[in-house]
Amino acid sequence: MMRGDRRCMLAVKVIGGVLVMGASSAIGWYEAERIRQRTSELRELEQALMMLKGDIRFAKTTLPEAIARLARYHEGSFAEFFRVVSAELLEYSGVSLNEIWRQRTEEILKGTALNAKDREFVASLGDMLGVADVQLQQNTLELAAERLSGEIAAASEKEKDRMYLCRALGVLGGVFLTVLLL
């Protein structure tokens, strides 16, 4: 082999190693961001449920009207969810709230950072809201907010360590793969 060929091969290996390390690190940072985003979205959901509860309790609005009002003023990860649920409820198509809520949870909330357990919790919340009187709706929303508060506390406690771990594993995985390839 000629000297130029060796240099070219070395350059290809170095560039390949840098690309592998960069991609692996990016995956680690992406996963770390998803962990942070989940905690943020749980807080957002807790606030939305408290707003819904307050609207039902103090403004004496019906659940469909309260969801419609929340849909108008809510911004963030759940805005589309509340808008779609509200629009379908106001159509009076004969489909129950719990069916609409569950279907839209499965369709729309897949795009959020919530995990499967979180999405199932949100879906089950619709089952309780769709068949309850005003007092039970308020109690259900209060309990849901309390449960979310506990989930937020647990997620926040683990968040920093998990984010560090994901980033470190991304970088170290890239180093390991680079060494294997060279």
Predicted confidence (pLDDT) per residue in 120-130, tens digit: 999 988 888 86
Cβ–Cβ < 8 Å for 70, 52: yes
Cβ–Cβ < 8 Å for 131, 144: no
Tokens read off for 17: 């190693």
The average pLDDT across 78-102 equals 86
Whether residue 133 has pLDDT greater than 70: yes
Q: pTM above 0.85?
A: no
How many other C-beta atoms can be found within 10 angstroms of the C-beta atom of residue 36?
16
Coil, strand or helix at 113 = coil
Summarised one tens digit per residue, pLDDT across range 36-67 is 888 999 999 999 999 988 888 888 888 888 88
- pLDDT at residue 121, as a whole number: 92
The average pLDDT across 154-175 equals 85
Whether residue 113 has pLDDT greater than 60: yes
Greater model confidence, 71 or 3: 71
Look at the block and give the residue holding tokens 């060494």: 179
